[in-house]
């Protein structure tokens, strides 16, 4: 029984994702998707809840969809990949498929090897010391255009995670033909970014059943709530939150919260911190995700939750039932008590409830 894994957000799923799932199905017996929950790597709510997006994945050909815990789903590319690969390995995956702008696995492997070299890491530290963000520092250190594309960066982190964990998973990449950051698509495929920005194109680039479940209001609600939540913290309390380093907690504490989410992000943003990084910091504070709790979770075997399963995947579900790290019951209370132990469960659930 050969299992292929896809680490994903499906925010929302589209025809480019379907192409990746089809490739996985054509080269394996089962396709397992490790998918972020109700919040994404942008530090914002997904465009539909996790159960709806998991159903979409099954309708597009996935056999089993399990949740990537929040601590990984709302993290840097490095930790997003690490958590995803850990769970893919737990599920018995032999192959990991992902899209990349590069589309060449040999080039990605060689670049990943360069990132492992001590002299490369020294150059990265030098660029960060000059004020560059981590992604920019990596690109400057290697001087390679491959690092200018976000999905190439994530692809490299998947390869590095496989090496770091020493798991027997073969990475396979499919060339992406859409522009990840473009909001106005050109060509056969559109990115999730473009679809969220232009919901009217769902019919062309995604599927009608996706449109039925879209809830873009959740992002608006979170942006209204988060500044008020941050206003309750002291600078010292913010320092305990995951990702708060180099005094960024003081910038967040001092920033005006009354002007709304966008004003807050702009006030906090620096040359060293990307907008995505700032959004993740705001999310972490909003759900009280502390450094100590994240460190504990990173060291442990992650717990995951079955979100959706296809009728043909009973064998996979039986395997999941026999694994103590996988919650197969629908109860979110049971899941939160294990998998999202990085935050007080009630805090994360309270925030999610406010967005419904």
Q: 263, 286, 309: which is the final residue of a domain?
A: 286
Residues 90 and 17 in one domain: yes
Residues 282 and 208 in one domain: no
- Residue range 215-235: average pLDDT? 94
Q: Is 112 within a domain?
A: no
Number of domains comprising the chain: 2
Q: Is 120 within a domain?
A: no
Residues 322 and 280 in one domain: no
30-36 and 3-8 beta bridge pairing? parallel
Q: Is 9 within a domain?
A: yes
pLDDT at position 343 over 70: no
Split at pLDDT 50, 70, 90, the class of 268 is: very high
Residues 91 and 185 in one domain: yes
As to burial, measured by CB atoms within 10 angstroms (0-12 exposed, 13-18 middle, 19+ buried), residue 283 is: buried
- Residue range 172-180: average pLDDT? 80
What pLDDT, on a 0 to 100 scale, did the predictor assign at position 328? 60
Q: Is 109 within a domain?
A: no
Residues 206 and 155 in one domain: yes
Best CA proximity match to 149, nearest among 201, 120, 111, 198: 111
Q: What is the DSSP letter of 328?
A: -
Q: For residue range 299-308, list pLDDT tens digits in order.
A: 888 888 899 9
5 phi and psi, to 5 degrees? -115, 150
Q: Which two tokens stand for residue 340?
A: 């999202």
Residues 168 and 280 in one domain: no
pLDDT at position 47 over 90: yes
Query: Dihedral (C-alpha) 63, 337, 221, 247: value to the nearest 10 degrees?
Result: -110
Kindly report which listed range (98-102, 170-174, 175-179, 205-209) carries the lowest average pLDDT score: 175-179
SS (H, E, C) 146-180: HHHCHHHHHHHHHHHHHHHHCCCCEEEEEECCCCC
Domain with 271 in it: 218-286
Q: Which two tokens stand for residue 2?
A: 């050969």
CATH number at residue 28: 3.40.50.620
Query: Which is it for the CA torsion 149, 85, 83, 118, positive or negative?
Result: negative
pTM of the entire predicted model: 0.91
Q: Is 334 within a domain?
A: yes
Q: Is 194 within a domain?
A: yes
Residues 222 and 210 in one domain: no
Q: Is 113 within a domain?
A: no
Residues 264 and 209 in one domain: no
Percent of the chain's residues with pLDDT above 70: 89
Residues 163 and 81 in one domain: yes
Residues 175 and 275 in one domain: no
Sequence-distant (≥ 6) Cβ neighbours of residue 7 within 8 angstroms: 33, 34, 35, 68, 80, 81, 84, 85, 88, 96, 98, 158
Q: Is 114 within a domain?
A: no
Cα–Cα distances (Å) from 346 to 60, 82, 286, 333, 352, in that order, read 33, 26, 12, 9, 10
């Amino acid at each position: 029984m050969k299992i292929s894994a896809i680490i994903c957000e499906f925010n929302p799923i589209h025809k480019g994702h379907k192409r990746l799932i089809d490739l996985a199905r054509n080269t394996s017996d089962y396709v397992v998707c490790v998918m972020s929950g109700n919040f994404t790597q942008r530090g914002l709510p997904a465009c539909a809840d996790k159960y709806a997006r998991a159903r979409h994945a099954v309708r597009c050909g996935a056999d089993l969809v399990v949740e990537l815990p929040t601590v990984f789903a709302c993290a840097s590319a490095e930790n997003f990949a690490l958590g995803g690969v850990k769970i893919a390995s737990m599920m018995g995956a032999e192959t990991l498929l992902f899209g990349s702008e590069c589309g060449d696995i040999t080039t990605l492997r060689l670049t990943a090897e360069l990132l492992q070299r001590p002299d490369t890491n020294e150059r990265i530290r030098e660029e960060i010391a000059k004020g560059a963000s981590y992604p920019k520092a990596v690109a400057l250190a290697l001087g390679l255009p491959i690092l200018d594309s976000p999905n190439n960066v994530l692809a490299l982190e998947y390869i590095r995670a496989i090496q770091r964990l020493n798991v027997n998973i073969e990475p396979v990449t499919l060339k992406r033909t859409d522009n990840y950051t473009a909001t106005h698509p050109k060509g056969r495929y559109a990115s999730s970014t473009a679809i969220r920005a232009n919901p009217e194109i769902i019919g062309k680039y995604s599927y009608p059943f996706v449109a039925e479940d879209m809830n873009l209001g959740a992002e608006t609600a979170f942006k209204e709530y988060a500044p008020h939540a941050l206003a309750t913290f002291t600078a010292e309390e913010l320092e305990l939150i995951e990702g708060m380093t180099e005094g960024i907690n003081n910038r967040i504490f001092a920033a005006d919260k009354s002007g709304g989410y966008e004003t807050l992000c702009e006030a906090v943003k620096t040359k060293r911190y990307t907008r995505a990084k700032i959004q993740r910091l705001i999310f972490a504070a909003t759900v009280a995700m502390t450094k100590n709790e994240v460190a504990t979770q990173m060291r442990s075997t992650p717990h995951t939750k079955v979100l959706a399963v296809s009728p043909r995947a009973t064998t996979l579900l039986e395997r999941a039932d026999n694994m103590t790290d996988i919650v197969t019951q629908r109860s979110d209370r049971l899941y939160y008590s294990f998998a999202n132990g990085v935050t007080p469960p009630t805090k994360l659930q309270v925030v999610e409830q406010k967005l419904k």
